[in-house]
Structure 1
Amino acid sequence: MSDWKRTTVGDVVTLQRGFDITKAQQNPGNVPVVSSGGISSYHDTAMVEGPGVVMGRKGTLGKVFWLESDYWPHDTTLWVKDFKGNDRRFVYYFLGTLNYLSMNVGSSNPTLNRNHVHPTPINWPPLKEQRGIAVVLGALDDKIAVNERIATTTDAMVEALRQMLLAELDANFRRLGDIAKIVVGSTPSRAKSEYWTDGTVNWINSGKANEFRVIDPSEMITEDALVNSSVKMMPPGATLIGITGATMGKISRLEIPAGGSQNVAGVWADEPALNDWLFYDIKARVADLTKHASGGAQQHINKRIITELQCSVPGPDRLTAWSAKASPLVTLTARRLVENRTLAALRDTLLPQLMSGRLRVKDAEKIVEDAT
């Protein structure tokens, strides 16, 4: 890496604070409005030509986003105004490696000031090396994006197959508690380190209900915690329902065995085909769950509401015919997402090594080729 140079962030890129805009000021359109947490809405007017790089400036510090098309960087972000001839995608990856927490100038609300980012000392490679690194890491991100599109498409296909079958049937509603197991979880005591240290059991919190599919645990608990804390294990294929607060009514599907917190419920049937069917049918009936929620500011769906939910269930022959088409697609969705977990882990491992020059592009190319 003798051809790398010692410089500063401000010498290789110019960062600029974004532009304020409220939801009320936005018009229907396809221009992404990028806030500190990512794309938050869409507008009909762009402020910056893509492709571009945006990072969180306020609240969520330093989270970096790549925008292929024209965009509107919100006031809560910094965006790269001038790439100064450097490879844009390399800049995106590089900025994601900086320690922005050390640059926080806020008090109660974390804030990033470009004047504190610009002087940061860095090692910077020549343009050829930048492009090579961007291609290597981009290959992994491109594969991840393809897998995500496949997963989204297959998921939509399964729902379309369900709708087609429902159109052919007379309504056949069953009480969910009569056809599936329903459990509500528990959180082991945080005061007991023996419940959380060196755990081997998957455990998930309510935030997982926001995910498209649950392929990773939130944390790991011990066998002692599982036995002594009323944690209930849920199998792969179970439907996960957020039952309290911000995730109330959110639905995901477990692709791993896991115990859950008291803010989630798990639903599953013994028959795999029915299990697949119920995931999509429950998703379609969220309004029937949430309309019976109780509580004030912290709304809650209790187990009884889930138990009494009326689900449409086809007869055995119809369900078998549907499953023959739908279940392989359900499996494909899970496999693509699990593969993405591996690809993302590889990208995150290669990223700091490539950015520091400890790993050269030709060696990384072989690793990525073997993985993709």
Structure 2
Amino acid sequence: MKLSDISRLESGHTPSRRKSEYWDGDIPWVGIKDATGNHGRTIKSTLQSVTESGIANSSARILPAGTVCLSRTASVGYVVTMGVPMATSQDFVNWVCGSGISPKYLHYILVSEQESVRRFAHGTTHQTVYYPEAKAFHVCIPGRAEQEAIVGVLGALDDKIAVNERIAAAADSLRTAHYQGAVTSMTEEFSEQPLSDSAEFINGRAFTKNASGSGRMVIRIAEINSGPGASTVYNDIDVPGKHLARPGDLLFAWSGSLVAARWYRPEGIINQHIFKVVPKRDFAVWLIAELVQRKLADFRAIAADKATTMGHIQRKHLDEPVATPSVAMAQKLDAQLSPLWDRALAAEQESLTLATLRDILLPQLMSGKLRVRDAERIVEDAV
């Protein structure tokens, strides 16, 4: 049936940027970065917010919780669902579902049809899905009870993934807080030393599109800090082992976003914008992660001063000092804090497995090739 017959199609808008009183209010405002960073999720907060005045003086509208948002320009096909009332930019088509379709079911339809949606995009500078195309979208759906059953199966996996994300975040926060406490209370055990004395920073390399070899994933900056199920890039390349990232390795993007993160996915190849950070002096990886994190603000300030399109640091900046524990202190802290690093890694890896299972079940459930009761048994074994 025609999607617009069972849901209300809504657009979005951007209040004037010249009016400061329109921004930083209490109303979440969904932009493209919210969609690309949270694809497939229900969100309750956004990177930017607007005021009541911003809504009143623009074509933006506050839409209800449960509204399903599909990005239609530039980054086409990303899906988020509103967990609370929000407004969106004009880069989205938004559906407020009627009684005939579950918002979460529509959410899963659009996620599963992401590539199909992109085929409707037109344009040379920016690919765009225009409103006539969106209004013509049709969906094939079962009855509401069957929709809810399918949502229950897929939602169980997403709920477990969300729990794992909270576990990983809590473990990392607890580790960092404990480490900071040690730095503050036991200053005699720490001294300012060059960051490069504690770790080797192995740079990746650029690859040609037509290289042949292993078929491993090429890790770009976008993959470092993405959640389970994020898009990946594959290429066929043979590289030395030093250019491979394995689960538990620390990766540092030294240009662009300047982020450092634990790699939890299968073995991949780092590109030229990324360092694999390998500990020296028998230090643990988690400790090097703490040292790098403590320098990130300085590195970002350096990158911001660069007169380049993509801000970056240079190798000489890795020689700048950071408070570093003695070997004895590092060993003592490792006994306490290494389990937290390992717990977070395990949670992230389990989430990746669950996301893979969800992505396998999704098209089969949507097409009717897999019955709900069979999928329920598979999910019960997984979670």
Name 1:145's counterpart in structure 2: 162
Amino acid at match of 1:362: R
Name 1:263's counterpart in structure 2: 273
In structure 1, C-alpha distance between the alignment counterparts of 2:227 and 2:367, rounded to whole Å: 34
Q: Which runs of 5+ in 2 are unaligned?
A: 36-45, 53-60
Contact 2:195 2:291 in 1 (8 A): no
Amino acid at match of 2:367: S
Give CA deviations for 1:289-315 in whole Å, capped at 9, x if unaligned: 345558522433222221x12122222
Name 1:252's counterpart in structure 2: 261
Contact 2:27 2:86 in 1 (8 A): yes
Q: What is the aligned residue count?
A: 355
Q: Aligned pair in 2 of structure 1 residues 209, 310: CA closer, same or farther (>3 Å)?
A: farther
Name 1:303's counterpart in structure 2: 315
In structure 2, C-alpha distance between the alignment counterparts of 1:309 and 1:161, rounded to whole Å: 24
Residues 18-167 of structure 1: pairs in structure 2 closer than 5 A: 18-22=12-16, 24-37=20-33, 38=35, 39-45=46-52, 47-98=62-113, 99-167=116-184
- 1:274 has 2:284 as partner: yes
Contact 2:71 2:93 in 1 (8 A): yes
Amino acid at match of 1:13: S
Q: Which SS does the other structure have where 1:122 is aligned?
A: coil
> Cα RMSD (Å) of the superposition?
2.8
Contact 2:248 2:262 in 1 (8 A): yes
Contact 1:215 1:254 in 2 (8 A): no
In the TM superposition, what is the alpha-carbon distance from 1:357 to its structure 2 partner?
1.3
Give CA deviations for 1:142-179 in whole Å, capped at 9, x if unaligned: 11111111111111111101111011122412222223
Q: Which SS does the other structure have where 1:189 is aligned?
A: coil
In structure 2, C-alpha distance between the alignment counterparts of 1:272 and 1:330, rounded to whole Å: 16
Q: Aligned pair in 2 of structure 1 residues 153, 42: CA closer, same or farther (>3 Å)?
A: farther
In structure 1, C-alpha distance between the alignment counterparts of 2:72 and 2:207, rounded to whole Å: 35
Contact 2:28 2:87 in 1 (8 A): yes
In the TM superposition, what is the alpha-carbon distance from 1:368 to its structure 2 partner?
0.9
In structure 1, C-alpha distance between the alignment counterparts of 2:231 and 2:109, rounded to whole Å: 26
Name 2:58's counterpart in structure 1: none
Amino acid at match of 2:262: R
Q: Aligned pair in 2 of structure 1 residues 285, 76: CA closer, same or farther (>3 Å)?
A: same
1:366 corresponds, among 337, 354, 377, to 377
Q: Aligned pair in 2 of structure 1 residues 122, 165: CA closer, same or farther (>3 Å)?
A: same
Amino acid at match of 2:278: W
Amino acid at match of 2:261: S
Residues 178-189 of structure 1: pairs in structure 2 closer than 5 A: 178-189=197-208
Contact 1:53 1:65 in 2 (8 A): yes
Name 1:4's counterpart in structure 2: none
In structure 2, C-alpha distance between the alignment counterparts of 1:14 and 1:107, rounded to whole Å: 29
In the TM superposition, what is the alpha-carbon distance from 1:226 to its structure 2 partner?
3.4
Q: Which SS does the other structure have where 1:278 is aligned?
A: helix
In the TM superposition, what is the alpha-carbon distance from 1:283 to its structure 2 partner?
0.8
TM (normalized to structure 1)?
A: 0.85
Contact 1:214 1:254 in 2 (8 A): no
In the TM superposition, what is the alpha-carbon distance from 1:343 to its structure 2 partner?
0.9
Contact 1:213 1:253 in 2 (8 A): no
Residues 293-332 of structure 1: pairs in structure 2 closer than 5 A: 293=303, 295-298=306-309, 299-306=311-318, 308-332=319-343
Deviates more, 1:318-327 or 1:341-350: 318-327
Q: Which SS does the other structure have where 2:240 is aligned?
A: helix
